[in-house]
Structure 1
Amino acid sequence: MTRTALVGLILPFLAACGAGVSGPVGEACMASGRSSANSVLCGCIQRVANDTLSGSEQRRAAQFFGDPQRAQDFRTRDDSASEAAWLRYRGFADRAEAICR
């Protein structure tokens, strides 16, 4: 196989690795309008979300990017299920901050 053919086979796979951000948290990160938002950072945050949050928790966390007041309202709910979910979210946020700097 020629070098050109090999590059032609490998290039699409490499492009797919950084070709965008998928997942609710990563997409919300990209759409947030923050100057630091880019596909590398938002992709990293999405990978941490995949490792630490369920699908429904990811969808809720994505809402926090667009509406920080929603996060505050959720944090101050006074029921055990919300408190447990907030602790999982904080764990995700702390881990993402440590890993994705």
Structure 2
Amino acid sequence: MKKSLSLAVSAALFMAVAAPSFAGPVESACLRSDRKQASRALCGCIQQVADMTLRGSDQRKVARFFRDPDQAQKVKMSKTASDDAFWERYQAFGAQAEAYCAR
């Protein structure tokens, strides 16, 4: 029993370490951006915060802001309830990313 349990744990650890990492939408957009501070470490950190704070659809919307910053302004100025709710989530994400990734 112990042998099969340790084998299962070893296999799980191997899969966790050996599994390829795939960039999320925010990380990908960050890496493709023309910002000189963009690095794999910083963009990966921002994606980690996005994974903790934003749903998938929010992450895709944030990724579009990297390509077209005017979209952020349009959402901010929008008067719809859904855009207002998104903007609150976006601001919380930004504050958390700044605090978490600016080390």
Smaller-chain TM-score range?
0.7 to 0.9
Identity %: 44
Q: Which residue of 1 aligns with 2:91?
A: 90
Q: Which residue of 2 aligns with 1:28?
A: 29
Using the size of structure 2 for normalisation, the TM-score is 0.78
Distance between the aligned counterparts of 1:94 and 1:67, measured in 2?
Answer: 21
Q: Which runs of at least 4 in structure 1 moved beyond 3 Å after TM superposition?
A: none
Q: Pairwise mapping of residues 8-87 of structure 1 onto structure 2 (< 5 A)? A: 13=17, 22-87=23-88
Distance between the aligned counterparts of 1:71 and 1:81, measured in 2?
Answer: 14
Distance between the aligned counterparts of 1:21 and 1:94, measured in 2?
Answer: 24
Distance 1:98 1:21, change over 3 A: farther
Q: Pairwise mapping of residues 1-12 of structure 1 onto structure 2 (< 5 A)? A: none
Look up the SS of the partner of 1:33 in the other structure: coil
Distance 1:21 1:35, change over 3 A: farther
Q: Which residue of 2 aligns with 1:5?
A: none
Look up the SS of the partner of 1:86 in the other structure: helix
How far does the alpha carbon of each residue in 1:15-64 deviate from its partner, in whole angstroms, 9 at most, with x for none?
A: x5xxx760000000000111100000000000000000000000000000
**CA-based RMSD:** 1.8
Work out the number of aligned pairs and report it: 87
What are structure 1's unaligned runs of at least 5 residues? 1-9
